[in-house]
Amino acid sequence: MPEQPQDSLLGLDYQELSEIAQRYGQPEYRARQLFDALYPQRLSELDSVSTLPSPFRAALKKEGLEIRHPRIEKSFQSTDGTIRYLIAMADGETVETVWMPEGDGGESGDGTEAGDSDWRRATICVSSQVGCAVNCQFCLTALLGVKRNLSAGEIVGQVIAVLNHRQVDMERQRVNIVFMGMGEPFLNYPQFMKAVRLLAEGVGFPESRMTVSTSGIIPRIADFGGEPLRPKLAISLNASNNEVRSRIMPINRKWSLEMLLQAARDFPLRNRERITFEYVLLDGVNDSVAHARELIELLRGIRCKVNLIALNPGPGIDFGTPAEHRVKDFQELLAKAGVPVFVRRPRGLDIYAACGQLKRTVA
């Protein structure tokens, strides 16, 4: 699996840029100028980095070093303002990145929908791998299998490509990042974490505005808990017992529900932080009253909230979407038991941009 492409400056951290500056006999402050151009300023061409002397720029280019933003190949706009981007990497592989603007809605997504220009805040859903190996049975990305990991530069590059396309001003506008696109971030852990640091220290995303979702890669949950700088943690749970979870998420055969919940209990939460458990409701599979009661017992003692998502259907997925009243009943049972619970609206359903629908569809 490739790491940082050798010819791309995007994805290098301050230390690596400093080594480049040294190699070219440049003073240390050139590394800072490069870093600022790459991340806070989000420049896409070395030629526009006017702070650098032109002989230095020319020398970098002579060696084949460039900024190399990933290219937006296509974009699809939903009636709800969501935009699904098909983004091409240097080797031609594509991933999907989703822009979700919001009006003044709260976390439960109960606010007004925003059009193209009147958003108050937005969320970017970012991919971490080309495809995914985890094979969740309700997810269209799983049908692709995994092709390769993305480098830190390619992960950061998706965010920058979308920020630039939407002309976002990070000082004045509020954008969140969720690592919930294609791929399992914890199976590409070093590059994912490097991207997180660059987004936080470079592009300007506070760690509290980033959330990563894992299907339950237990050893990495522990590593993640020990990181000095880290996004919030979401766990894609989707079942209240091992029988159902192993059926819909084969990863559960390796790391059981008990192991997963123990990892959640052991996870060092910050002040006022909660773990998010995502629960995709599949008609007649995991959405009964009995399942809700089982789930309440499972989550007892964990500082958490639950996001319910009624399945977003797609071709090749053998599950149905539960009726609205079943979703409501499930939510009410959890709420009555004191579990903070939200029903997530699907975003960009009409353009295959909703949760579990990212499959590089081009029509």
Give the footprint of ligand SF4 on this chain (CB under 6 A): 132, 134-136, 139, 141-142, 182-184, 215, 236, 356
Over its C-alpha atoms, the chain yields an Rg (Å, rounded) of 21
Tell me the C-alpha distance between 175 and 108, whole Å. 17
Least distance in angstroms from the C-beta of 324 to ligand SF4: 23
Least distance in angstroms from the C-beta of 55 to ligand SF4: 46
Nearest Cα to 182, choosing from 352, 345, 3, 25? Answer: 352
Nearer to ligand SF4, 49 or 182 (CB): 182
Least distance in angstroms from the C-beta of 254 to ligand SF4: 13
**Cβ-proximal residues to 132 (8 Å cutoff; 6+ apart), any chain:** 139, 141, 142, 144, 145, 146, 182, 183, 184
**Cβ-proximal residues to 209 (8 Å cutoff; 6+ apart), any chain:** 174, 175, 176, 177
Nearer to ligand SF4, 26 or 286 (CB): 286
Tell me the C-alpha distance between 233 and 264, whole Å. 9
φ/ψ (deg, to 5) at 13: -90, 180
Q: Computed from CA positions of residues 206, 210, 212, 218, in that sequence, does the dihedral angle turn out positive or negative?
A: positive
- Could you list the active site residues? 96, 355
Least distance in angstroms from the C-beta of 323 to ligand SF4: 23
Nearer to ligand SF4, 21 or 139 (CB): 139
User: DSSP label at 142?
Assistant: G
Least distance in angstroms from the C-beta of 183 to ligand SF4: 6
Nearer to ligand SF4, 46 or 234 (CB): 234
**Cβ-proximal residues to 219 (8 Å cutoff; 6+ apart), any chain:** none
Instruction: Find the length of the chain.
Output: 363
